[in-house]
Structure 1
Amino acid sequence: MQRFCLSLDLKDDPDLIAEYERWHARGSGWPEVRANDLKAGILDLQIYRTGNRMFMILETDDQFTFEKKAALDLLSPHVQEWERLMWTFQQPLPWAKEGEKWVLMDQIFQFEK
């Protein structure tokens, strides 16, 4: 299993943030998007928020790659529509590369065993 942590900002607007959270409430996600994520090898996906900053944890199978996920996303009209909708709420981090949404975070600490 692999674990990836990513970050992205929401537009700093309380109404937009509330609507974004409604789209992500239990039972509100699109089943086609979830099916695509599972097909890509994502076993679990969690999103946390503080203010307008979001933090996502992906747990994946060992065959998962971001390239494979991107290729599957391009083939799914539902994922493309979902991403367009979500982008109305999201904004890139100040240091994100051109066209980059979720930015992969670097692990800087772990308990020593």
Structure 2
Amino acid sequence: MQRMGMMIGLQPDKVEEYKRLHAAVWPEILDLISRCNIKNYTIFLREPENLLFGVWDYHGVDFEADMAKMAADPKNQEWWSFCIPCQKPLDTRKDGEWWAMMDEVFHMD
């Protein structure tokens, strides 16, 4: 298992919409996340800065393949069509990232 984290901004005028979307995530999306070997997935929101922090446990063996499977799923593409306009990527993210991946510097069980 690998603990992973990521950050992104949230458009100020889309905060309530983003909260509404995530209060009732579509069952197909929840199933897809599980099939892509992600468990214990949580997204936190920091207001008023409007920063999102996501953390999850990855239980697979090929993260890139699982993320490609997730990105290719038509229902997920539809879900993203609602979520992506709400988000504001960090200027400091790496090439190819939407959410900026984070390095773990401390963990305690």
TM bin (shorter chain)? 0.7 to 0.9
The letter for the 2-side match of 1:63 is V
Structure number with higher helix proportion: 2
Gaps of 5+ in 1: none
Residue 88 of structure 1 pairs with residue 95 of structure 2: no
Instruction: Return the TM-score normalized by structure 2.
Output: 0.86
Q: Which runs of 5+ in 2 are unaligned?
A: none
Larger radius of gyration: 1
Equivalence for 1:35: 31
CA separation in 1, counterparts of 2:43 and 2:74?
A: 23
Task: Tell me the residue number matched to 2:67.
Answer: 70
Letter in 2 for 1:24: H
Deviation at 1:74, TM superposition (A): 3.5
Instruction: Trace 1:1-113 onto structure 2 (pairs within 5 A).
Output: 1-13=1-13, 16-25=14-23, 28-51=24-47, 52-65=50-63, 67-110=64-107
CA contact (8 A) 1:42 1:60 kept: yes
For each residue in 1:56-94, what CA deviation from the matched residue of structure 2 results, as whole angstroms up to 9, or x when unmatched? 0111214251x1222212331100111121011001101
Q: TM-score normalized by structure 1?
A: 0.83
Q: Percent identity?
A: 31
Kept in 2: contact 1:10–1:91 (CA 8 A): yes
| Higher alpha-carbon deviation: 44-53 or 91-100 | 91-100
RMSD: 1.7
Q: Which structure 1 residue ranges, 4+ long, deviate > 6 Å from structure 2? A: none
